[in-house]
Chain A
Amino acid sequence: MNTRLLMTMHVKVGTPLNVGAVPHGTRRTAPLGGGTFEGPRLRGTILPGGSADWQLLRSDGVLEMDLRFTLQTGDGALISMRSFGLRHGPPEVMAAIGRGETVDPSTYYFRTMPRFETAHPAYMFLNRLIAVATGDRRPEGPIYTIHEVL
């Protein structure tokens, strides 16, 4: 499988809302308060409002993420991005992340599959691609390195 870098995204996370124990697991919603993205073909900011992460901690210890972002490029285009993702790892590593520590991202599994929608002619290529992202959960918010699947 061949990939190429699409962008690196730095996300600011707001105060999470703990929905609690739902039939499928423990649900938590984290509003995403902004951030930036930068890559060879696009760069800009994450718009707060409409950007959030709906998380479900499953009974097998895997965190499912349902992320939605609205991106605004430096030249004014709006891009809707939705990702499904999974995060899991050894209990001690996940506990350290929970305590807000910086952890080597290679010690746990944090992967997402973003899809994009835009009406802007300069970014139509995004409508046609599948992408894979690796995540790095930092205390200040996650960093996603997003690769286009070629």
Chain B
Amino acid sequence: MSVPIHSRPLMVLRLATSATQDIGSTPQGTLTIFPVIGGSFEGERLRGKVLAGGGDWVTAHGDGTVTLDLRVTLETDDEGLIHMTFTGVRDDANHYFRTVPRFETAVPKYAFLNRLVAVGIGEIRPEGPVHLIEEIL
């Protein structure tokens, strides 16, 4: 018996990045690192800010796709720390930008994050990337 896919909003994540570090053409593709210097996240169950110090390792491939590999630390408004990573794919020709976030936290209130899988719908806005992240139920 198959279970249909249901999801519900988890958070909207906004990232602020500084000047890129252009590693250049490597055997894996063209690697550009986007240092994360801040940002915010907001959802019904959690909200807070993105701490400086993370980044997104973005590789452009020969087939027109871009893969993402992000790690950041989130700090909730009640001072919980959440380690967040995602991998993802961007295919601008098809307006496709999706990520698969994962979370790790030691804070009991947010332990539900350790137990879920999620999907992010990414958008590039003038003020920076925005990810609409949904929990897969």
Which residues in A have some Cβ–Cβ distance to B below 8 Å?
1, 3, 8, 60, 62, 84-86, 88, 104-106, 109, 111-113, 115, 124, 127-130, 132, 134, 136, 143, 145, 147, 149
Given A145-B3, A147-B5, A1 and B100 contact (CB-CB distance below 8 Å): no
* Secondary structure call for the B interface: strand
Tell me how far the C-beta of B114 lies from the nearest C-beta in chain A, rounded to whole angstroms: 6
Given A1-B121, A85-B117, A128 and B94 contact (CB-CB distance below 8 Å): yes
Tell me how far the C-beta of A59 lies from the nearest C-beta in chain B, rounded to whole angstroms: 11
A136 touching B3, Cβ below 8 Å: yes
Determine the interface band of chain B, counting residues with CB < 8 A from chain A.
20 to 34
How many A-B residue contacts, CB cutoff 8 Å? Answer: 70
* Secondary structure call for the A interface: strand
For residue A62, which residues in chain B have a CB less than 8 angstroms away from its CB? Answer: 114-115
A60 touching B115, Cβ below 8 Å: yes
The answer to the question of B23 belonging to the interface, with a C-beta cut-off of 8 Å to chain A, is: no
